[in-house]
Chain A
């Protein structure tokens, strides 16, 4: 090889020019793909926002009435109030049902369970549960709660709010467990050893040292799980939630409607006036989701400890 041509090759021969073009085209594709997700999100938010703005400023739907009235046959009189209250009740019972069992499972897996077949079975099963479609949880509760006969009254249990909460609680249980496991794992072993060295039992160590340290992480995970639950529609429809929430539920054994089912009902109506209500409902739902996520981020940042 002569040195003259050698030097020239460093400038890039034809072959490399082609490769550079290929590289640039590939990067262009990757950037376009990354931009697509952002673009889709902006389109979606823009679509909802523009419909909501039209609802308020063009169709003259009163925001106050929307938030204080409940479902109606007439789009002008319909509101979101009962649905919001229904969702609030649902979240209360969902968190009661899922939090303790979920955190208990996480504590068991991380702090108590010996590394044996049973533990591996529970963990493999968790991964599987996380992949079960939400609509199937609704079916489970429909058959295992709603369609049962109440031994006191002799009647079918029926589509009560509590049943909806059970479905949502089962649905988010794997999320709570996995996030609580991560929070527990983040507590350094030195803290456990310190406690054990003073003669504490495993449970005393967990209760007094590990759980307090992991609590912010566990709460953050729980809030994020609830944010998932509050938008879930399919399981509620399966258990028989009212699509038109005309009045707020009065307790766990009342029939109920919720925000997502109300939105579905409005969006599914052929009359376009109801679509504007759906858009307004989505804005309320998204604002609540933003508030929940902000709380979770705030908790995480406030109590985040560097070990």
Chain B
């Protein structure tokens, strides 16, 4: 071809072109691993949870294995007694959900107000020097392993704070109690709320603050009536993430709140969360494939669906309340 003499159309760079295609394929493969992980989580949980209910894994059932109903789906979802080890076992998941929500709500009562107020202080009030100390300190709080928070709960929060204080007030407080779990989960999620909310508040344009100051607003009014509403999407996102994190939190609540599944709103008694049950089960001796063992996956599926819906809610909030200005 005549063009070949120019060297811009022919085979000159074909080797490099082939490399480029191969590399692209390999990198696409890497990205596919992340998708495969999500698919695998879904598949594995569904497959194994199916056997909890019907005695056969989902893929076995599809291949034609006969089902042997062990636990009813309705019984699982609406039952108020969770007693897998009992002579007459019951598999009602509500007590575990009750325990998880008790911890989550209690933790939110700590992390949301404190995290938000910290974010306001960092974004609106603090000098550069204070920020330079406070922000890394809160990052340290976020970086401490949850097992350490669990240890903190049973070695300090319960014996030095919860029991002395509330027993003086006339409550009866057991060694393992939901309250200590709420406190440590609340503390560990403060940095999530404060850092994400602060990012949102800091990105509110200064024009808006000037407008309010120009009208004679006080700093507190500017913070709560202008900055807070203008950054509401980021703030809500931080709340949802903190709640989602509290739902999935495992080691701290396992150590602090214990292993007695019950339907209760009393924060001073021993409870069991979904995650704590999973730890208890995984430590136990139940044989593979038994209904006790497979309950691990049924509870895991409920947990996964709860955190997944939190993530989806987060996406929705971000789209719904996206700030319109730049």
List A residues at the B interface (Cβ < 8 Å).
19-20, 22-23, 26-27, 29-34, 36-38, 40-41, 43-44, 47-48, 51, 100-102, 104-105, 107-109, 112-113, 121-122, 124-129, 131-140, 142-144, 147, 156, 170, 173-174, 177, 199, 201-204, 227-228, 230-234, 237-238, 240, 243, 260, 263-264, 267-268, 275, 278-279, 282, 285-286, 289, 293
Expressed in whole angstroms, the minimum distance between the Cβ of B89 and any Cβ of chain A is 21
Instruction: Evaluate contact between A37 and B37: CB separation under 8 angstroms.
Output: no
Digit string of B180-213 for contact with A (CB within 8 Å is 1, else 0)? 0000000100110010000000000000000000
Contacts of B236 in A (CB 8 A): none
| The residue from B223, B251, B307 contacting A264, defined by CB atoms under 8 A apart | B251
Binds A, one of B27-35, B71-79, B263-271: B27-35
Instruction: Evaluate contact between A33 and B117: CB separation under 8 angstroms.
Output: yes
Instruction: Evaluate contact between B304 and A267: CB separation under 8 angstroms.
Output: no
- Please tell me the size bucket of the interface on B: 35 or more
Bound CA span A11–B275, Å: 59
B172 at the interface (CB under 8 A from A): no
Bound CA span A128–B312, Å: 8
Contacts of B150 in A (CB 8 A): 264, 267
Query: Contacts A26-B220, A134-B250 known; A41 to B137 CB distance under 8 Å?
Result: yes
Query: Contacts A26-B220, A121-B35, A260-B145 known; A267 to B154 CB distance under 8 Å?
Result: yes
| The residue from A31, A41, A112, A260 contacting B121, defined by CB atoms under 8 A apart | A31
Bound CA span A32–B116, Å: 12
Instruction: Evaluate contact between B117 and A29: CB separation under 8 angstroms.
Output: yes
Which chain B residues in 225-255 approach chain A with CB under 8 Å?
A: 241, 244, 247-251, 254-255
- Most chain B C-beta atoms within 10 Å of own C-beta, residue among A38, A139, A264: A139
Bound CA span A144–B28, Å: 23
Expressed in whole angstroms, the minimum distance between the Cβ of B141 and any Cβ of chain A is 5
Instruction: Evaluate contact between B27 and A108: CB separation under 8 angstroms.
Output: yes
Query: 19 extra interchain contacts, Cβ-Cβ under 8 A, other than A37-B141, A43-B152, A139-B297?
Result: A22-B218, A23-B218, A34-B134, A37-B118, A44-B144, A44-B148, A47-B152, A104-B30, A108-B28, A112-B28, A125-B35, A127-B311, A129-B34, A131-B244, A144-B40, A199-B13, A238-B278, A263-B148, A286-B148
Q: Which 8 A-B pairs have the closest CB atoms?
A: A133-B248, A231-B145, A104-B30, A33-B117, A108-B27, A30-B121, A234-B250, A26-B220
Expressed in whole angstroms, the minimum distance between the Cβ of A21 and any Cβ of chain B is 10
B70 at the interface (CB under 8 A from A): no
Nearest CB to that of A270 among chain B residues?
B175
Instruction: Evaluate contact between B44 and A233: CB separation under 8 angstroms.
Output: no
Expressed in whole angstroms, the minimum distance between the Cβ of B223 and any Cβ of chain A is 7
Query: Contacts A19-B218, A113-B31, A234-B251 known; A41 to B122 CB distance under 8 Å?
Result: no
Instruction: Evaluate contact between B151 and A263: CB separation under 8 angstroms.
Output: yes
Contacts of A47 in B (CB 8 A): 152, 155-156
| The residue from B134, B137, B223, B255 contacting A26, defined by CB atoms under 8 A apart | B223
Instruction: Evaluate contact between A136 and B303: CB separation under 8 angstroms.
Output: yes
Instruction: Evaluate contact between B220 and A23: CB separation under 8 angstroms.
Output: yes
Q: List 22 A-B contacts (CB under 8 A).
A: A23-B219, A26-B224, A30-B117, A30-B125, A37-B114, A44-B144, A48-B152, A104-B27, A108-B24, A126-B34, A127-B311, A133-B304, A133-B307, A140-B41, A156-B288, A173-B37, A203-B19, A231-B148, A233-B147, A234-B146, A275-B151, A279-B155
Which chain B residues in 61-91 approach chain A with CB under 8 Å?
A: none
Query: Contacts A37-B118, A124-B315, A203-B19 known; A129 to B147 CB distance under 8 Å?
Result: no
